[in-house]
Amino acid sequence: MKILVVDDSRAMRMIVQRTLRQAGFDATIVEAENGQEALDKTKSEKPDLILSDWNMPVMSGIEFLNALRGGGNNTKFGFVTSESTPAMRAQAVGSGAAFLISKPFNADTFKDTLNGVV
Amino acid sequence: MQLNETALHEAVNTTLDALVGSAGEAVDPTTPNWAMRALIEISGDFDAVVSATCDEHFARSLAAAMFGLELDETSDDDVRDAFGEFTNIAGGMVKSLLPGTCRMSVPSVGDPTGVGEPSAVALLCEAAVEHEGGHVGVRVLSPT
């Protein structure tokens, strides 16, 4: 399994990878630091799952998701974000996201959420 | 829950616990010598600024824990990145306590003299903790 982790913070990308390992997901990790880079890497790397921050410079997570779905790409997609209002969850699901994980999170959060998706 | 000092303190410690595995002890916010500041603007139905400051030891310790490095292995970029993410998570928790629909900016991080708090603001609440010899404080400000 290949997972694209998208976050403008390198520290958070590392923590997401570490948490994936702790949750038992043995995956090849590809990284991107904003939505535009992620859009390019989705095409070149063809990940099985995308875990994306919402609030990023250059291109936000929701803009990335909309661009992805607008281009006909249906790769499984979830947000990992510090913002998680009901309105954002509704917008995420409406745009084609499978889930939204709130920061801070732990390995159990990843297990509970991802086991139904991958 | 509403935003107040207790809720802000809980947000700081929940963030710390998630990132480094333990919470801190409450301290007087005016005590430490701040070495770094991160600012996040919240706008929408409620306008606010989340201003997080920390001393050098806290910043290095946080980066070391987040990157899995020794203290002396952390670069200045690692430290800014880690403290920005700390502020981003704490800011998200603050935002969830504010009324209405709001948006949050990405954090601006740097030296407190370069990343200054805006003028003409009122202090809504603040909280500071000591964590393993380092100090971090978070203030929530609102335009007057």
Which DSSP string do the residues of A16-83 spell out, in sequence order?
A: HHHHHHHTT---EEEEESSHHHHHHHHHHH--SEEEE-SS-SSS-HHHHHHHHHHTT---EEEEEES-
Determine the Cα angle at A81 with ends A68 and A116, to 5°.
Answer: 70
CA distance B73 to chain A (A): 14
Quote the ipTM score: 0.82
Q: Domain of B121: which CATH number? A: 3.40.1550.10
The angle subtended at Cα B19 by Cα B95 and Cα B90, nearest 5°, is 15
Residue type, B96: S
Q: CA A80 from chain center: how many Å?
A: 6
Q: Which residues of A touch B78 (CB under 8 A)?
A: 10-11
Tell me the pLDDT tens digit for each residue of B67-125: 989 999 999 999 999 999 999 999 999 999 998 889 999 999 999 988 988 888 899 99
State residue B143's pLDDT score.
87
Nearest to A12 among B68, B85, B96 (CB): B85
pTM: 0.90
For residue B118, the 8-state DSSP code is P
Give how many domains chain B has, as a whole number: 1
Identify all chain A residues contacting B95, using CB atoms and an 8 Å cutoff. Answer: 83, 85
Chain A residues at the B interface, defined by Cβ less than 8 Å, are 8-12, 14-15, 18, 55-57, 81-85, 87, 102-106
In sequence order, the β-bridge partners of residue B40 are B50
Residues of A in contact with B106 (CB under 8 A): 8, 55-57
Q: Residue A109, Cβ neighbours under 10 Å: how many?
A: 16
Distance of residue B67 Cα from the nearest chain A Cα, in angstroms: 6
Q: Residue A33 CB: number of other CB atoms within 10 A?
A: 18
CB contact under 8 A, B92 and A85: no
Q: Is the pLDDT of residue A112 over 90?
A: yes
Omega cis (within 30) before B143 = no
Instruction: From chain B, pick out residues whose CB is under 8 angstroms from the CB of A12.
Output: 85
Residue A84 backbone phi and psi in degrees, to 5:
-150, 60
pLDDT, one tens digit per residue, over A41-88 is 999 999 999 999 999 999 999 999 999 999 999 999 999 999 888 888
Nearest-CB residue to A9 (from B68, B84, B105) = B84
Domain that holds residue B67: 5-143
In angstroms, what separates the C-alpha of B105 from chain A's closest C-alpha?
A: 7
**Secondary structure percentages of chain B, helix, strand, coil, to 5:** 35, 30, 35
Domains annotated for chain A, with CATH where assigned, are 2-114 (3.40.50.2300)
